[in-house]
Amino acid sequence: MSQAVVEQIMGKMLLNTGFRQLVAANRTQALADFDLSEGERTAFENMDLEDFSESVTGLDARVSKGIHLN
């Protein structure tokens, strides 16, 4: 397992609402295709998704403010 896989999962959670919902509903299924160590898998399974979702919402708001369409 590498840092790249962890970053891939976090990026997918950040950018893909459907994947984020799958992680919330069934983490085992969501993480099945990723090569994670037992410790990494446990860390993702114990991750506080409410905190993550709040971070994503805050990021979305900051990104939206930075985009100006004319």
Question: Which residues, other chains included, contact 68 with Cβ-Cβ below 8 Å and sequence gap of 6+?
Answer: none
Helix (H, G, I), strand (E, B) or coil at 33: coil
Range of the domain at 26: 3-66
pLDDT on residue 70? 44
pLDDT on residue 22? 93
Number of domains in the chain: 1
Tens of pLDDT, residue by residue over 16-48, are: 889 989 998 999 999 999 999 998 889 888 888
Which residue do the tokens 């994503």 mark? 56
